[in-house]
Amino acid sequence: MKPPPKKSADLASPRLQRNWDWRAAGNFMAGGAGGGLLLGAAIAGAGANATRAALLLGMALIAAGLTCVWFEIGRPWRAANVYRHIATSWMTREAVVALLLFASGAWALYSLAAPFVALAGGLGLVFLYSQARMLAANKGIPAWRHPRCVALMASASVAEGAGLLACIAAAVGPVGLWSSIGVIAVIAVRAVCWKRYLGGLTAAGAPEGSLRVLAGIDRRFLLLGHALPALLAIPALVGTAGARLSMFVAGLLLLASGWTVKYILIRRAAFTQGAALPHLPVRGRGPAGAAAKPGWSAVPGSRNA
């Protein structure tokens, strides 16, 4: 028995993208956290053991993310072609930065020289920024192309790196005042970027599917990814007992919540543009009708709200 034919509005409505799967999400998750960890290692100025662990783990995560992308492409043995479009492609820039990052990171790991640790951290920041711009360059996905998506992705990667650094610091020695302040600061920045992103999508109008998925995780993300880690960082702030354990758990929550949001943004909230009419046509005389975007939320204050 044949399925019933779809209505024209259903055919024109946004659909969930299927081109980028879990391997693409894995690159943004692992690579972003790795870049954020390298940046955190350069800023924190931790001891030799913590710095070496952060450098090694940061580069391993970036390598794992790039490996996910390598397995995703249809012809992996042509991966070198990615370096041919540096003037136009953020994916190319990500790949070029990765080469420089691995070179400087390897020497920093060997020597622990402050200039090379700082260089690796700076390249980690450029790497995660390139990832954020690469996602925003996909103009066919409204949830990705919004200008505030760049700040959200970058702040998420920095927070994930800070969470990993907090775990490393708590594992190798006592955590201090500045570790707690740093964790609370990145939590606050990511929370602001998240709310601004959601507010921007709602104000500009977006596919209903994207808004429904993102709104569904809003409360849990703020509670488990921001409020709870901030509370767990307080013992280190005031120097009470159990500070190392609470900071370790706070770091894990920062990492897990950031990875969850990235995965959902790429795999579950990435609805396509769909068909859109700037105005409804009219036969004969008379004014044209309002604009139409099937499957989109109405913009508050617009004619079709």
Q: Where do the structural domains in the chain lie, given as residue ranges? A: 18-267
Determine the pLDDT at residue 303: 47
Query: Domain 18-267 is in which class?
Result: mainly alpha
Which residue would you say has higher pLDDT here, 269 or 288?
Answer: 269
- 3 has pLDDT over 60: no
- Name the residue among 257, 265, 31 with its Cα closest to residue 163: 257
* pLDDT tens-digit readout, 241-253: 788 999 999 999 9
pLDDT band at 282 (very low <50, low <70, confident <90, very high): low
Residue with more model confidence, 302 or 84: 84
| pLDDT more than 90, % of the chain | 63
Taking only the tens place, the pLDDT of each residue in 96-105 is 999 999 999 9
Q: Does the structure show a pLDDT above 70 at 4? A: no
pLDDT at 263 over 80: yes
pLDDT at 292: 60
Kindly state the tokens that stand for 97. Answer: 């930065």
pLDDT of 192 > 70? The answer is yes
Res. 305 pLDDT band, cuts 50 70 90 = very low
The residue among 33 and 173 whose pLDDT is bigger is 33
- Tens digits of per-residue pLDDT, 114-149? 999 999 999 999 999 999 999 999 989 999 999 999
Q: pLDDT band at residue 198, thresholds of 50, 70 and 90?
A: very high
Q: What is the mean pLDDT of the chain?
A: 87
Q: What is the pLDDT of residue 91?
A: 87
Q: What is the 3-state secondary structure (H, E, C) of the chain?
A: CCCCCCCHHHHHCCCECCCCCHHHHHHHHHHHHHHHHHHHHHHHCCCHHHHHHHHHHHHHHHHHHHHHHHHHCCCHHHHHHHHHCCCCCHHHHHHHHHHHHHHHHHHHHHHCCHHHHHHHHHHHHHHHHHHHHHHHCCCCCHHHHCCHHHHHHHHHHHHHHHHHHHHHHHHHCCCCHHHHHHHHHHHHHHHHHHHHHHHHHHHHCCEHHHHHHHHHHHHHHHHHHHHHHHHHHHHHHHCCCCHHHHHHHHHHHHHHHHHHHHHHHHHCCCECCCCCECCCCCCCCCCCCCCECCCECCCCCCCCC
Mean pLDDT of 282-294: 62
Question: What average pLDDT score do residues 24-45 get?
Answer: 94
Q: What is the pTM of this model?
A: 0.88
- Tell me, what's the pLDDT at 304? 43
Q: Mean of the pLDDT values across residues 137-166?
A: 95
pLDDT given for residue 75 in this prediction:
65
Which of the two residues, 29 and 179, has the higher pLDDT score? 29
